Amino acid sequence: MSLGQRTLAKRVSVTGVGLHTGQPATVSLGPGAPDSGFVFVRADLPGQPEISARAEQVCDTAFATTLGAGEARVGTVEHVLAALAGMGLHNARIEVSGPEVPILDGSAAGFCALIRTAGTCEQPRPRRVLVVRHAVELREGDKLARLLPAERFAIRCSIEFPDPAIGFQVLAIEPTPELFERELAPARTFGFLREVQQLQAQGLGRGGSLENAVVLDAGRVLNPGGLRFPDELVRHKVLDALGDLAVLGLPLRGRLELHKSGHALHHRLLQALVSQPAAFSVEPARDAPDWQPHAAAGAA
C-alpha cells in the first residue's frame, strides 16, 4: 500500500459570490508542491501574496474562518479546506480573485466536484500524521471541544437549539473520502432568518440567500426544497469542523468530540493542542486509514 502524499492532477476553477461580502470571486484549485500543504493565493492583489492554511495564520473566526498574512486576507475558507482534506489531498494551491472564497451552494459538494474533475496524483514524498497522545479539552459554558487519543480519526458532534426545526442532533462518523463526499459534503450552512437580517444590517451576509444556505424561522425550513438530510445541520457542523481542523497542516489520528462548538472554539482547541508538545507527535503514516487516506475518491 502506497503511503505517498497526494495533490491535484490539474487546475480547475469555479466562480461564485462570497457569503459575507457578496462580492463575485473565482477560486482555482491546482497542484501543490510536496509538504507545502494547502496554500491560498490572493490572485487579485499586487504580488499575489500567499497565505498558508496554518493555525498561526487564522486571524478571524467570527461567522467563518479567515486566514491572513500581512495585509492579505481570505475569508470563509472552511468549506474548500474540508473538501480538499476530506477527499484525501495533502497539498494544493488555492487561488482566489477576491477577499472571500465563493460560498457556491453553501456546502462543500461543488468543491468535491471540482476535485473529481481535476483528478489526483501521488507525490514522491511520504505522508505524515499528527497523532494525539494526551487528551486536550476546552469548555466554555455548555460548549465543549475535546481531542482524545484513538487508533484512527473519528469525530462525534452534537448541536442543540430551542427551535423545533433543529432540536438536538448528534452525528458520529469515521470519515473516509467516500463517506465525506456522500454524507458530509452536501450539507449546507444554516442560520435563522432573524440572524440573517441582523448580519445584513451589519454589512455581513450580503451574498446569503435560499440558494446557498438553509434558513429557518419559527420552526420552519424556508428553503423550497427542504433539507437534504433529516440531520443536515449537524452534518454541516461536522463539515465546518473538518475544514477548521485542516489548518493543523497534517492529517490527524485521534478522536474529536464537539458539543455546541463553532469556529472560534475549534481554533482555540488547536492552539491548546499545539502549545502542549507532550500532547501530540508527528509520525509516518501507516496502513490503517488516518483522516486523509492515500486512496482519495476518484484518484488517478
> Cα–Cα distance between 135 and 31 in angstroms, integer?
35
Cell of 157: 458532534
Alpha-carbon gap, residue 293 to 177, rounded angstroms:
8
Q: Name the catalytic one among 263, 266, 267, 294.
A: 263
Mark whether 263 is an active-site residue. yes
Give 155's strand partners.
Answer: 173, 256
Helix ranges restricted to H, 109-251:
109-118, 177-179, 193-201, 232-245
The amino acid occupying position 18 is: G
**Integer Rg of the chain from CA:** 18
Q: Which of 232, 216, 281 is nearest to 107 (CA)?
A: 232
Which amino acid would we find at residue 56?
A: E
In whole angstroms, give the CA distance from residue 24 to residue 11: 20
Report the C-alpha gap between 113 and 9 in whole angstroms: 14
255, 150 contact by CB (below 8 A): yes
8 A C-beta contact, residue 107 and residue 186: yes
- Residue pointed to by grid coordinates 509520525: 283
Active site residues: 263
